[in-house]
């Protein structure tokens, strides 16, 4: 049986009762219920809450200047950072949008329905949507995207590791019968196993919808359904979006005539200087001491609760990190609280070396990360690697660099030999996934199983640790098939313990995200995944 907002999924009603009982947070409820097809308004109604008032009135027109990295554009399934999706979001839209309050909102989908065991999804497409070349948006376009996401042979395609529930055995496309076009505006997705991550997956920045038959860089073939077009683009310098007046967009909003993304590098002092000089209207993100500085100059601050984090990891494809004793020794030598204090001035929450956050619905509390330098030395000696010189690599910036510096100091205090290598951003990102020992920031995902799938499953495009464990992959598939988060938590406890015992990562903290903008900016509030929803932006009327 399928359930929709009119016929509310029974799990959503059960979750609403948990909110009433005080055993489930409002945010967690909104994420769970809307992922099952309940509208945001319907979800709020189920718990007797009135949604927050709509944002202030926006004046039509104007140019907004946003400080943000301008990274190379590429085929959407290979997008690897939110900044890339932010630039193309005015051109290429998404089936579903993940909002600040935790709700999932239909964009190119009008609605969706999920059966009771999450093995079948019905996508109801929004009617009247047109591509900017004048052709209609149909279920054929959605089917094309769903199928190409399955292709693991596409270099850098992170979507391939997320769609295993409808992927064929060769990982070259969808399984026979998995994607069923019902009519021009309806599509049925038939899964081989339950998967509760489908809606969160199609809201991710790598799931931008392209036209049937498209592949490559959107700059080379700029056909999209969105209200803007990209008129200027230079990596590391600037990207410009301008309102596409030749295209009748289906949506509401999109007040600005022009949006400029300006790359000022990773030095926050330069960002502040540009803000004080009146050269920008909004920051992409504000870090550390600069949060107070931006407050002091009178800019508005927005904060988002997030599972954003930093992972300090080894790659086991590079000896001696193929030895679990070496990996565990490095983790045992690290005090995560110190890294939180020195790396981001304590503006976050201590993490536990397993990449599942307390705000994730399936988080299992298995205790803090262990800090024991003596045990670390004993393990390293047992591995015969006490004299090995570790090269610890990081980007040069105001939070990842000091966090990694603090780890190097702790490892030296434990008696290990460590050298530091610091690269500018343009160099660091060329090989981020293959460094033997380095730090990488990871963005928020609504469900804990999502980042675990992206980062640690065998062969995943973003697997930077080299982990390839049938045991881990089996447990993760089991967890992803359990719709009830409380039941999923039992499996998650085993997964978390596996990652700790394996020494897969050192993960010091979870951090809230901060963004500053001029007081008259509307729609610029920071997002848990640092998304910028272009159509919401404008200046107060």
Number of C-alpha atoms within 13 angstroms, CB side, residue 45?
A: 8
The pLDDT tens digits along the chain (541 residues) read: 454 444 678 788 888 888 888 888 888 888 888 988 998 889 999 999 887 765 668 999 999 999 999 999 999 999 999 999 999 999 999 999 999 999 999 999 999 999 988 999 999 999 999 999 999 999 999 999 999 999 999 999 999 999 999 999 999 999 999 999 999 999 999 999 999 999 999 999 999 999 999 999 999 999 999 999 999 999 999 999 999 999 999 999 999 999 999 999 999 999 999 999 999 999 999 998 899 999 999 999 999 989 999 999 999 999 999 999 999 999 999 999 999 999 999 999 999 999 999 999 899 999 999 999 999 999 999 999 999 999 999 999 999 999 999 999 999 999 999 999 999 988 998 899 999 999 999 999 999 999 999 999 999 999 999 999 999 999 999 999 998 888 999 999 999 999 999 999 999 999 999 999 999 999 999 999 999 999 999 999 9
| pLDDT score for 305 | 85
pTM of the predicted model over 0.85: yes
134: left (phi over 0), alpha (psi -120 to 50) or beta: left
CB 345 within 8 A of CB 288: yes
Three-state SS at 297? coil
| pLDDT score for 239 | 98
| pLDDT score for 8 | 77
List the one residue out of 29, 45, 37 whose CA is nearest residue 101. 29
Tokens 């009603």 belong to residue: 13
| pLDDT score for 19 | 86
| pLDDT score for 5 | 44
Cβ-count burial 434-458 (b if 16+ within 10 Å, e if not): ebbbbbbbbbbbbbbbbbbbbbbbe
| pLDDT score for 3 | 47
Give one DSSP letter per residue of 472-527, joined into a string.
HHHHHHHHHT---HHHHHHHHHHHHHHHHHHT-EE--EEEEEEEEE-TTEES----
Three-state SS at 307? strand
Q: Which domains does the chain have, with CATH numbers?
A: 2-54+92-207 (3.90.76.10), 305-512 (3.10.105.10)
d(CA 48, CA 32): 16
Tokens 């030598």 belong to residue: 333
């Amino acid at each position: 049986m399928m359930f929709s907002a009119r016929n509310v999924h029974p799990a959503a009603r059960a979750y609403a009762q948990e909110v009433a009982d005080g055993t489930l947070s409002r945010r967690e409820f909104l994420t769970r219920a809307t992922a099952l097809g309940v509208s945001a308004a319907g979800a709020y109604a189920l718990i007797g809450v009135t949604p927050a008032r709509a944002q202030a009135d926006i004046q039509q027109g104007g140019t907004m200047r946003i400080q943000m990295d301008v990274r190379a554009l590429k085929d959407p399934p290979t997008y690897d950072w939110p900044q890339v999706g932010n630039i193309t979001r005015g051109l290429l839209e998404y089936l579903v949008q993940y909002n600040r309050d935790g709700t999932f909102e239909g964009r190119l989908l009008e609605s969706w329905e999920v059966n009771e065991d999450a093995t079948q999804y019905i996508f109801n497409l929004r009617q009247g949507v047109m591509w900017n070349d004048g052709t209609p948006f149909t279920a054929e376009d959605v089917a094309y995207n769903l199928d190409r996401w399955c292709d693991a042979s596409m270099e850098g395609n992170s979507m391939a590791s997320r769609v295993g529930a409808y992927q064929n055995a060769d990982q070259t496309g969808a399984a026979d019968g998995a994607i069923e076009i019902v009519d021009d505006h309806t599509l049925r997705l038939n899964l081989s196993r339950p998967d509760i991550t489908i809606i969160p997956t199609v809201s991710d920045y790598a799931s931008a919808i392209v036209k049937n038959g498209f592949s490559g860089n959107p700059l080379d073939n700029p056909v999209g359904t969105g209200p803007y077009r990209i008129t200027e683009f230079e990596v590391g310098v600037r990207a410009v979006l301008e309102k596409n007046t030749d295209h009748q967009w289906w949506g509401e909003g999109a007040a600005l005539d022009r949006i400029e993304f300006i790359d000022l590098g990773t030095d926050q002092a330069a960002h502040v200087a540009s803000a004080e000089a009146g050269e920008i209207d909004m920051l992409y993100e504000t870090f550390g001491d600069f949060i107070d500085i931006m407050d002091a100059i009178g800019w508005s601050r927005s904060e988002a609760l997030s599972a954003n984090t930093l992972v300090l990891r080894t790659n086991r494809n590079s000896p001696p990190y193929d030895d679990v004793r070496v990996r565990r020794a490095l983790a045992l030598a690290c005090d995560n609280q110190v890294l939180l204090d020195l790396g981001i001035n304590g503006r976050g929450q201590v993490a536990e070396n397993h990449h599942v956050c307390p705000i994730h619905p399936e988080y299992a509390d298995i205790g803090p990360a262990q800090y024991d330098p003596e045990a670390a030395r004993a393990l390293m000696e047992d591995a015969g690697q006490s004299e090995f010189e570790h090269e610890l690599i990081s980007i040069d910036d105001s939070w990842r660099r000091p966090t990694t510096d603090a780890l190097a100091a702790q490892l030296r205090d434990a008696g290990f030999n460590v050298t530091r290598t610091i690269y500018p951003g343009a160099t660091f990102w060329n090989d981020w996934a293959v460094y033997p020992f380095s730090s990488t920031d990871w963005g928020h995902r609504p469900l804990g199983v999502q980042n675990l799938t992206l980062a640690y499953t065998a062969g995943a495009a973003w697997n930077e640790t080299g982990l390839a464990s049938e045991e881990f992959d089996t447990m993760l598939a089991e967890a992803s098939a359990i719709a009830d988060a409380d039941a999923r938590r039992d499996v998650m406890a085993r997964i978390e313990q596996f990652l700790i015992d394996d020494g897969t990562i050192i993960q010091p903290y979870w951090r809230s995200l901060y963004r500053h903008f001029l007081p008259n900016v509307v729609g610029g509030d920071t997002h848990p995944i640092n998304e910028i929803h272009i159509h919401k932006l404008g200046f107060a009327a």
